[in-house]
Amino acid sequence: MTLIISATNRLNSNTLKVAKYYQKILKAKGTDASVLSLTDLPENLIISDLYGKRSAEFQNIQQLVSAADKFLFVIPEYNGSFPGILKVFIDACDFPQSFYGKKAALVGVSSGKYGNIRGVDHFTGVCNYMNMQVMPLKIHVTAVHKELNEDADFFNADTVKFCDEQAEKFIAF
């Protein structure tokens, strides 16, 4: 199973729109994928699910993570890196079995001109520590708020082409 992670808990985010865009293009290529938005995390996550505890609210999320063999992380830029909620989510998941030996593709998004290059690089280090196989082709979407149309689809030909190429390689990965 493929799980797409919208790596922010910001409501109505462009990150979630991009995650759903990838879900759509993967489906068009014959690959079903589920989307997990970190807005769905329990509000008491840092109290209830860290350090060996497990809440009933997080159990369904843990089951999704455990069932996945591939992850596509859509990661917005927060202060030159990735959102802290993504790290909390990773820390709350069962270690090491949640991610160990599984595959990951990374997509960086930002409202600025660099597409979260540093954050994706930082998160690559986290993935490597968890012994995930990270696909070398990483996409960095700059000025994401200007790249999406009213249907939350990319319309810039280069962005469409690069996302499509990444999706193809991710399926084969």
Q: What is the pLDDT of residues 106-159, one digit of tens each?
A: 999 999 999 999 999 999 999 999 999 999 999 999 999 999 999 999 999 999
Residue 149 phi, psi (nearest 5): -85, -175
Q: How far apart are CA 11 and CA 82, in angstroms?
A: 16
Place of tokens 């938005």: 37
The confidence band for 47, taking pLDDT boundaries of 50, 70 and 90, is confident
Please give the pLDDT value at position 49.
Answer: 83
Centroid of chain to Cα 85:
12
Which H or E run contains 105?
Answer: strand 103-109
H/E run at residue 161: helix 157-172
> pLDDT higher for 17 or 113?
17
User: Cα–Cα–Cα angle for 80, 111, 71, nearest 5°?
Assistant: 70
pLDDT of residue 50: 81
Looking from the CA of 33 toward its CB, the CA atoms found within 13 Å total 29
φ and ψ at residue 126, rounded to 5 degrees: -65, -45
Mean model confidence pLDDT for the chain: 95
Distance between CA atoms of residues 129 and 20, nearest Å: 27
> pLDDT band for position 89 (50/70/90)?
very high
Are 169 and 133 in contact by the 8 Å Cβ rule? The answer is no
Q: Binning pLDDT at 50, 70 and 90, where does residue 160 land?
A: very high
Scan for tokens 């989307």, then name that residue.
35
Helix (H) or strand (E) holding 73, with range, is: strand 70-76
Any bridge partners for residue 37, and if so which? 6
Q: Which two tokens stand for residue 8?
A: 């922010």
| Residue 126 parent element (H or E) | helix 117-129
